[in-house]
Amino acid sequence: MTNLALSPTGKRIVVEARGEVFTIPAEKGDVRNLSNSSGSAERDPAWSPDGKYVSYFSDKSGEYKLVIEAQDGLTPPREIALDQYGQLLPYVNHRADLNYLLDNMGAEIAIGHSYVRGGDMPEVPNSPGGLLGADFAIENERFRITRIYDNESWNPDLRAPLSAPGVTVSVGDYLLAINGIELKAPDNIYRLLDGTANRQTALTVNSNPAMDGSRQVTVVPVANEQGLRTRAWVEANRRMVDKLSNGQLAYVYLPNTGPPGYTSFNRYYFSQQDKTGAIIDERYNGGGSAADYMIDVLQRDFDGYFNNVAGDRYPFTSPSAGIWGPKVMIVNEMAGSGGDLMPWMFKYGKIGLLVGKRTWGGLVHTADTPPFIDGGSMIAPRGGFFTRDNKWAVENEGTAPDIDVENWPKDVIAGHDPQLERAVAEAMRMLKEHPVDRATKEPPPPTWGKRRAQP
């Protein structure tokens, strides 16, 4: 007997013996021959996570195929006909077709992080389209600027083309021409911006939709506006939280659980230590690694104080860094991987409430996947997450919120963020019910003894 494995329920054991696959009771019961074959060999049996099925390889057809069978043996086994994908190989006319085929084959295992990438693709000339970091509306058959995104004046990693020094463009101006080519609706503005990314580009603008009196400015379009638009969204959220909470709550956005996420956490969390509570927004979190550092900081409490000898003598907490009041984390269906685990840890540690929608549900990490011979890859997920009570968790489940709130398009278009607004309301309720117990002044000076009067 080889390849013994105890079922997740602990009631039966699957075993490979004499080329057959059996399940036997852990204590009492019947022995079941699942493969029940002659002249073929079955090998490598394994349990499904719920203990209802057993998978194994069989060479019954002359080639090994994956078989899945109910552990009770009452229903016919099902072959995972991997050869069905092989039948499509003659119709692969491009490396992208092969990736599509491999992706569908990999979907048989129903697991996240199973990516198919790259390969021997034809070289295509790169002509990145330029973007101006602005919103436009069609008025008077012209493109009118309705918003200009800036870099918040302090962020060196962002470049806003229309907010650069010397660029005299304002909200309300009309964009009349690009590099001397007149622009009128219904023409596509991005047609004229094609190939302009990171290149000096001449814009003709005017405060009215006519060429007379127009002026020309030179800008350098960016290849991607995501950073500008994300920063504008984050800062708008921060200002909204400050307004709704009357300055009592901090707002911290976590774009991922990799280096940019840690940078954002440190920058936004510790700079708002004057707040009494915090909204932690991890919507659209792209993952990265286990966010144990952030969780450790969020669940930190202070042990005492040190007196402050300066100014109003407002005492320092020890440790000094932290926000000591209620915390609410916002989640949605676009947060995954490390963005699944972080809210799970937040809930497990009873740090605060989760508000929003259930997260993506992909928490099997990837590692050491060798590339294909042509440089492509098919990622093989390796390590799944399970809890201290020995149960698989999060993968294909996600982390559910304590309070389910949907951001319906109608509400968002109207200028609302129901998830953010509910998170603030819950944090303010928690703050009212459990005010932060923090000293605002030091106790009277200690008296260690009294000097005896001289005789």
Per-residue confidence in pLDDT tens, the chain, 455 aa: 778 889 998 989 999 888 888 888 888 888 888 887 877 888 889 998 888 999 988 887 777 788 888 988 888 888 776 567 888 889 999 999 999 999 988 887 788 888 899 999 988 888 889 999 999 999 999 999 999 998 776 677 789 999 988 999 999 999 999 999 999 999 999 999 999 999 999 999 999 999 999 999 999 999 999 999 999 999 999 999 999 999 999 999 999 999 999 999 999 999 999 999 999 999 999 999 888 999 999 999 999 999 999 999 999 999 999 999 999 999 999 999 999 999 999 999 999 999 999 999 999 988 878 899 999 999 888 889 999 999 999 999 999 999 999 999 999 999 999 999 999 999 999 999 999 999 999 999 888 877 777 76
Across the chain, which distance is largest between two alpha carbons, in Å? 113
Is 92 in the same domain as 161? no
Is 202 in the same domain as 252? no
Is 185 in the same domain as 274? no
Give me the catalytic one of 48, 79, 108, 113: 113
Q: Does the annotation mark 395 as catalytic?
A: yes
User: Burial code of 288-313, b = ≥16 C-beta within 10 A, e = fewer?
Assistant: bbbbeebbebbeeeeeebeeeeeeee
What confidence score (pLDDT) does residue 369 get? 83
Q: Report yes or no on 326 lying in a domain.
A: yes
Beta carbons of 102 and 378 less than 8 angstroms apart: yes
Residues near 157 by Cβ (< 8 Å), separated by ≥ 6? 227
What confidence score (pLDDT) does residue 37 get? 80
Is 195 in the same domain as 340? no
Q: Report yes or no on 102 lying in a domain.
A: yes
- End position of a domain, from candidates 80, 99, 119: 80
Q: Look up residue 272 and give its two tokens.
A: 């708002």
The radius of gyration computed from the CA coordinates of the chain, to the nearest angstrom, equals: 31
d(CA 351, CA 37): 55
Q: Report yes or no on 120 lying in a domain.
A: no
- The tally of domains found in the chain comes to 4
Q: Report yes or no on 454 lying in a domain.
A: no
Is 325 in the same domain as 395? yes
Distance of CA 55 to the CA centre of its chain: 32
Distance of CA 211 to the CA centre of its chain: 46
Give me the catalytic one of 35, 337, 365, 426: 337
Quote the domain boundaries for residue 95.
85-110
d(CA 291, CA 298): 11
Q: What 8-state DSSP symbol labels residue 84?
A: H
Helix extents (H) in 271-332: 292-298
Whose CA is closest to 268, among 302, 301, 231? 231
Q: What 8-state DSSP symbol labels residue 271?
A: T
Q: Does the annotation mark 27 as catalytic?
A: no
Give me the catalytic one of 42, 69, 395, 426: 395
Q: Does the annotation mark 114 as catalytic?
A: no
CATH number at residue 145: 2.30.42.10
Is 197 in the same domain as 281? no
Is 409 in the same domain as 271? yes
